[in-house]
Amino acid sequence: MSILLILFCVLAAITLSTAFLTVFSRNPIHSAIYLVICFFSVAGHYLLLNAQFLAIVHIIVYSGAIMILFLFTIMLMNLNKENEVHKPRITRLGAIVSFCLVCLILIAIFINSKPIAGEYIATGEDYQSINVLGKILLNEYMVPFEFASILLLVAMIGTVLLSKKEKLEK
């Protein structure tokens, strides 16, 4: 076995295990730490694909900025087990049914999908170049890029408003 295949298998195992630990961890801080490890292992996959710029941007944006937002959200919401309201069983049942339906839909999509058949035409253009990537992001994908930034801003403002404690009048 080649060293790249071994490295891929190790990164895949780390990615999958930390993704599951992120979801199933009871402590939100531990979940955030597992998610950071998962992001770093995905950046390792980018490095295996020879996409160094994408790996660095992934680390800076996701492991840096997004995780800081998540941690601020967790800290602002002050998730304590004794103050946490227990969800009724019907809510849990609805979540399980919704999860199963989404899984069934995804499995049906994967089973019915067909590979792209045809000739691959190489244009010779280097899409790993920062110059080309910047032109594509700021020309073709400018509107979705700005929508994503507005969505993050609204989520952050919503978190602050939700966590703001109301003052009691005396």
Classify residue 70 by burial, with Cβ atoms within 10 Å: 0-12, 13-18, 19+: middle
Domain residue extents for the chain: 1-84
pLDDT tens string, the chain, 170 residues long: the values are 689 899 999 999 999 999 999 888 888 888 888 988 999 999 999 999 888 888 888 888 888 877 777 777 777 766 555 555 666 788 888 888 998 999 899 899 888 888 777 777 777 666 667 777 778 878 888 888 888 888 878 877 877 777 666 555 55
Q: How open is the CA angle 77-43-71, to the nearest 5 degrees? A: 10
Confirm whether pTM is higher than 0.85. no
Q: Which pLDDT value is given to residue 169?
A: 55
CATH topology of domain 1-84: Four Helix Bundle (Hemerythrin (Met), subunit A) (1.20.120)
User: For 62, which DSSP code?
Assistant: I
